[in-house]
Structures are given as structure tokens and as C-alpha cells.
Amino acid sequence: MKNHTVCNSGAAVQTEAEIAELCVHLRSVFQERRTSGYAWRKEQLMQLQRFLEEREEDILQALHEDFRKPQTETWFTEIHYLLTEITVALRHLRRWMKPVTVHTPLRYQPGRSYYICEPCGVVLNIAAWNYPLQLSLAPAVAAIAAGNCLVIKPSEMAPATAALLSDGLKDYLDSDAIRVVQGGAEVTASLLTHRFDHVFFTGSQQVGRLVLSAASRHLTPVTLELGGKSPCIVDKGTNIDVAARRIVWAKYINAGQTCISPDYVLVQSAIRQDLLDALQRAIDAMYGPGSRERGAYAGIISEGHVRRLQELMKGGSIVCGGGSDAQSRYVEPTILTDVSLSSPLMQEEIFGPLLPVIAYDTPEEAVAVVRSAGDPLALYIFSPQRHVYEYFMGHIHSGGVCINDLLFQAAIPALPFGGRGTSGIGRYHGRSGFETFSRLRSVHRKGTFPENALRYPPFGSLKFKLLQQLFKRFH
């Protein structure tokens, strides 16, 4: 792919001066409208597809280096996930780019009303470390499909993946318009001093507030994909063995370092012990002896994060698991009971393989527990009875819901994904991602004939009454 030599395309960006130069350069590229056409968008998406397919082994190795992520998890949750997003975007891109016609009331006829999705401009994606490839590139798919210039800031906490993105993408994508910028918090802060047309951030609530504050100085719209304490409610009458297997699968994939992971379980008191027994059987079956040595269970991102999880464990009684080693960044799949709602275990997002199980007697009691922690990113409900899960959905606000399973509400490309309240702002995936990185521009088009003299002053009483009748009758 031929690139211009402006701004030393593809070179590493480190200093504040280089970041400033890059932002000016990307702005000029966007203003040339190079990225707005269908051909450019399609080509970049196809090149991104090639990167994922041709560099698969490198991706698997990078994720393993960063936190021993199992190959199967990397393929399904990172590579295949992104390939699906790209396939959907390529399949629907022409239709997404077309003007959308809306109804024009008779009183404004003749004329045509429609809106078009125009690119935002120059956008910034600040990615999190827990799914370092997916969270760097899934927003990029939407931003490219919408025709934007883009800066990708991967997480420094996953250095092997960040290096692969920085070194690898420039061989596939138009590095005049799409750039990867590596670095820590100081680089992110420097980027946020510049005006972008949209900022997309995935990470903690604390940092999300800082991003929102920085973007507000330029009145830049933001999408914040945060987190929170996503509950899993298990109602009596549920197939307990199935529920337990699905909870264990969803909780311990990526060693619990998933923003939509079930943070804790609320189970009706009558089936509490049955569920605890089933959860332990499921853990033994999926993560029994040797799973760590076989590479079937991910590591924790850092020693500091292990020590944080070790402290959180003190907030409950360990039913199973509990083993950990900071030096090797390992924490066993762990279930805890006797958890105080005021403990850090229930006040902070866990983001690790610790699963508190809390009994409740009435639906109202369960709702009160969930509400005390703010609006979660995900709500999981296991119940065979429609009135039960509709009750919980009606009384608990959340970004998304999955009934009798977990995580899949975020895996369906046609479903908008995002938070609510403290769990986030905005949506993406599929069409909703395309619209997030677009500006919807309203258009009404008329000819110069016929001309309606009634619209112009002066307005006498008879003329005013006639116009009133026409407007009331023809909506």
C-alpha cells in the first residue's frame, strides 16, 4: 500500500511534539476526504482481516506472553470475535452508508427528508489490557467503517500485544490515516490534550472520569465502556447443574478479567448449597489438577493485581480454591461465602477469579443488593419462569441482559453493547458502532416550485386561522 511521507508515516510516536504533529497530520488527511469513500473503508477492513489471519500465530504468542492466555480463549474471544465484526461490517457497509429517508409531513411537501451518516473526523481509541487485541481493534472496525482517521492507544499493561499492533498494523493499514501510539499514562494524557472528534475509552470508572473531563475541554463526545459489579441471579426451579457450568465458564474465562464477567452470584436460599456443590463440580471438571500446566487457564495481568485479589479474598470464607502466587501471577478459581456487603469484595469490581455467592430470600432483597452497587454493565438471570426474569429486568437497570446464560449479549454483532450510568456511556458493535463513529446529518431538500405564498408575512387573522387549520389537520 502506497503511503504519503508526511509525518513520517508508520514511525513510532513518543514525544509530545510528535503527538501534536501526528494530530495535525491526521486532521489534514481527513480534510482531504481520503477516508470517506466506500473503497477506502472496504480496503482497510479487508486489510485488517488479512492481518488477523496472517498473523494469527504471532497474536497467539503475544497474548500468551502478556498473561498466559490459552490459545483457545485467544482464538475465540480475540481473533474470531474480530473477524466476525469485520465480516458484518463488510456485508452491510454499503447499506449503512446510504441516506436514510424519513417521513415528511404533508404540510412540508413537496420535499424529501433524510439523514446521512458522515464520519466524525479524527478519533481516538484508548484500549484496556484485559482483551488487548479485541479492545484495540473492535472499536477500530467501527471507526474505519464509518470513514474516520484513527489513533489506537493499546494498553501498556499488555506490552507484547501493543508491540505487535504497533509493528504489524503499519504493514497492512493506511498508516497515513490509522496509527498506533504506544506508551503509558503520560502518553494517554498527552493525547487527550488535543482535540479529537470522538474519544472511545475502555477501562475503569476512575480513569473513565478523567477521560471524560479531558474530552469535555474540547466538547468532544465520548464513549466510555467501563464495568461495575455484574450480578448473576439464580432462581429456584433453575437447572442447577447447567447454571453452574455456565457460570463457571463465564466467570473463569480469562481468569475472571472480563468486564462483563459475573462479579457475584445471588442465589435463593433454598438452593444455595445445591448451587455451591454444583459450582465446585464444574470447577473440578473445567479447571482441575494440571489445567495451569496445560495452559488451559489464564494468568493474572500483574503481581500487583494478584496482591489486590489476595486482599479481597479476606472478605469472605473460601469454599474452594484460594491458592495464589504473585510471582507467577496465578490465582486459583475461587468461590467465597459469608461475604459482607460492606466489604471491599462487594464494594469494588473484582476483575479476577473470585466468585462470592450470596443467598437471598425474596426478589426485593436481591434487587436491593444489586442497586446498592450502581447500574451494572451486565445482568444475568437464571430462571425458567418468565415473570421472574421480567421482574428483575424491570427493577434493575443494566447495560445488557442475558437470561439463562452469560456473556452472549456481548457476542451478538447486531446487539448494541455498552453500559448505563456508572458502567458506561454509549454503545458499539455492528450498526450501533458505525453510528457511534458517525455524525448523523439531517437534510431536507425542496425544489423552487411550487411556491406557497401562505408561509410569508404579513399574517392577517383569516390567513392565520387558515394556517392553523391546515397544520392541525395535516400532521
Q: Residues 406-411: what's their mean pLDDT? A: 98
Task: Tell me where in the chain the CATH 3.40.605.10 domain(s) lie.
Answer: 16-227+427-439
CB 403 within 8 A of CB 381: yes
Helix (H) or strand (E) holding 267: strand 264-268
Helices (H), 179-239: 185-191, 205-216
User: Residue 418 above 70 pLDDT?
Assistant: yes
Alpha-carbon span 432 to 306, nearest angstrom = 36
Q: pLDDT per residue over 202-252, tens digit each?
A: 999 999 999 999 999 999 999 999 999 999 999 999 999 999 999 999 999
**Beta-bridge partners for 389:** none
Question: What is the pTM (predicted TM-score) of this model?
Answer: 0.94
Alpha-carbon span 111 to 446, nearest angstrom = 5
Alpha-carbon span 284 to 378, nearest angstrom = 26
CB 380 within 8 A of CB 233: yes
CB 81 within 8 A of CB 88: no
User: Residue 167 above 90 pLDDT?
Assistant: yes
Per-residue pLDDT, 6: 42
Label residue 10 by pLDDT band (50, 70, 90): low
Helices and strands counted in the chain (H then E): 17, 18
**Beta-bridge partners for 357:** 265
Per-residue pLDDT, 462: 92
Q: Residue 96: how many CA atoms within 13 Å on its side-chain side?
A: 30
Per-residue pLDDT, 413: 95
Q: Residues 402-416: what's their mean pLDDT? A: 98
Whole-angstrom Cα Rg for the chain: 26
**198: nearest Cα among 443, 442, 435, 441:** 435
User: Residue 178 above 70 pLDDT?
Assistant: yes
Per-residue pLDDT, 331: 98
User: Residue 475 above 80 pLDDT?
Assistant: no
Q: pLDDT per residue over 327-356, tens digit each?
A: 999 999 999 999 999 999 999 999 999 999
Q: Residues 348-377: what's their mean pLDDT? A: 97
Residue linked to cell 493499514? 173
Give the domain 16-227+427-439 fold.
Aldehyde Dehydrogenase; Chain A, domain 1 (3.40.605)
Q: pLDDT per residue over 96-145, tens digit each?
A: 999 999 999 988 999 999 999 999 999 999 999 999 999 999 999 999 99
DSSP state of 7: G
In the structure grid, which three cell numbers stand for residue 150, read together?
A: 484513527
Label residue 407 by pLDDT band (50, 70, 90): very high
- The CATH code of the domain at 231-418 is 3.40.309.10
Task: Tell me where in the chain the CATH 3.40.309.10 domain(s) lie.
Answer: 231-418
Per-residue pLDDT, 4: 36
DSSP state of 286: H
Residue linked to cell 491526521? 26
CB 187 within 8 A of CB 162: no
Give the burial class of 285: count Cβ atoms within 10 A of its Cβ; 0-12 exposed, 13-18 middle, 19 or more buried.
Answer: exposed
Alpha-carbon span 118 to 230, nearest angstrom = 35
User: Residue 3 above 50 pLDDT?
Assistant: no
Q: pLDDT per residue over 206-217, tens digit each?
A: 999 999 999 999
Per-residue pLDDT, 5: 35
**Three-class secondary structure of residue 349 per DSSP:** coil
Percent of the chain whose pLDDT exceeds 90: 92
**240: nearest Cα among 321, 357, 319, 369:** 357
Label residue 11 by pLDDT band (50, 70, 90): low
In the structure grid, which three cell numbers stand for residue 258, read together?
A: 472480563
Q: Residues 459-474: what's their mean pLDDT? A: 90
Q: Which residues are catalytic, by number? A: 225, 259
Alpha-carbon span 137 to 72, nearest angstrom = 19
Strands (DSSP E) found in 82-227: 100-102, 112-119, 122-126, 149-153, 178-180, 198-202, 222-225
Alpha-carbon span 156 to 271, nearest angstrom = 44
Per-residue pLDDT, 453: 87
User: Residue 1 above 70 pLDDT?
Assistant: no
Pairing outcome for strands 438-445 and 424-425: unpaired
